[in-house]
Amino acid sequence: MTQQAADAGGGMSLESGPEARLSGAFRLASRPRVGYPLLAAAALGYSVVALLLAVANAKPMPEPYLRIPDADYFAAGALFYAPVIVAAWLLASGAIYLAARAMRGGPRFDELLAATAFASGLGTLGTLVADLVTSPLRAIGVIDEQAWEASITQRGGWFVFTWTTLAIYIALFLVTYPLAVRRSTRLGWPGAIAIGVAGFLVFQGFEYVFIR
């Protein structure tokens, strides 16, 4: 009897291992009162970044798809960056919902929206935090704008810095989107990872059309 109890206790400890703790933490963090404000703050944060880059007379890099003059791009971006981020989240959430239903994952759309809102907000912080530091410095001339652009094109220090923050951004999305799918559906990890990664590609693909 004692051995059986010990075995049962061992099984319970396995069930409350790192995966369970991670899922539990994500469940708490991705509640609507957390996820939606985080996404809104991230979206508005990038509108602020765009405004500061307009003050810095920055040029969009790489060349954007939108037919907006380079000199006016970030001034316009201060108006459309936030709506684009929100639209990308909604589009990705819809794609994830349809894919999960096709795989009989039984998602609840309200839970999925809250989970992907948190994931999108947290992932966006991967680049936003650094941009909120560098863009004011570029706007007031502490970081010379021409030196910044030259460093990006010549793959200098700022190029490495930018790609480091992008790597953090991608890593956060590739972790949190599958967690969002797993949390809001009945899918196992293979399906959650596949759909989560696909959802991130939808999110990022839509953003890339508009945001530089």
pLDDT (tens digit per residue) in 147-175: 999 999 999 999 999 999 999 999 999 99
Q: Band of the pLDDT at 26, cuts 50, 70, 90? A: confident
Q: Name the residue with tokens 């037919």.
A: 67
Q: Is the pLDDT of residue 1 over 50?
A: no
What's the whole-model pTM score?
0.88
Nearest to 113 by CA among 201, 21, 31, 200: 31
Average pLDDT over residues 24-42: 89
Domain ranges of the chain: 28-210
Q: Which residue has the higher pLDDT, 23 or 201?
A: 201
Cα 206 from Cα 60, distance rounded (Å): 17
User: Mean pLDDT in the chain?
Assistant: 90
pLDDT at 212: 86
Tokens of 96: 């994830």
> For 67, what's the count of Cα atoms within 13 Å in the CB-facing half-sphere?
0
At 97, the amino acid letter reads Y
The pLDDT assigned to 16 comes to 56
pLDDT in tens, 86-119: 999 999 999 999 999 999 888 889 999 999 999 9
Q: Which amino acid belongs to residue 75?
A: A
| Token duo for residue 83 | 């709506």
